[in-house]
């Protein structure tokens, strides 16, 4: 057997599915807890998403500053 064939046969074979980069991954570095959607009519938007997602509106409060509304689903 020639030297090149002997050397090549001792190298480990790499599968097509084995990545050539990377390693172990850590957990997420951030959590998304809140999404804010700015709109003219918060009640209509809440009603839309309530119907779209099948969720109930669990909290609503009208704020005094600039006629803002707080909603939770």
The string of DSSP codes covering 23-61 is ------S----------S-HHHHHHHHHHHHT----EEE
The mean pLDDT of the chain is 72
Count Cβ atoms below 10 Å from residue 60 Cβ, excluding itself.
13
Residue of higher predicted confidence among 60 and 50: 50
Tell me how far apart the alpha carbons of residues 29 and 26 are, in angstroms, rounded to a whole number. 8
53 pLDDT band, cuts 50/70/90, is: very high
Q: How is residue 22 annotated by DSSP?
A: -
**Mean predicted confidence (pLDDT) in 30-41:** 79
């Amino acid at each position: 057997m020639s030297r090149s064939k002997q050397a090549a046969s001792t190298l480990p074979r790499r599968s097509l599915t084995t990545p050539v980069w990377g390693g172990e991954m850590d957990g997420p570095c951030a959590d998304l807890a809140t999404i804010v959607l700015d709109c003219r009519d918060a009640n209509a938007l809440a009603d839309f998403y309530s119907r779209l997602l099948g969720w109930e509106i669990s909290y609503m409060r009208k704020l005094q500053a600039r006629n803002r509304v707080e909603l939770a689903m």
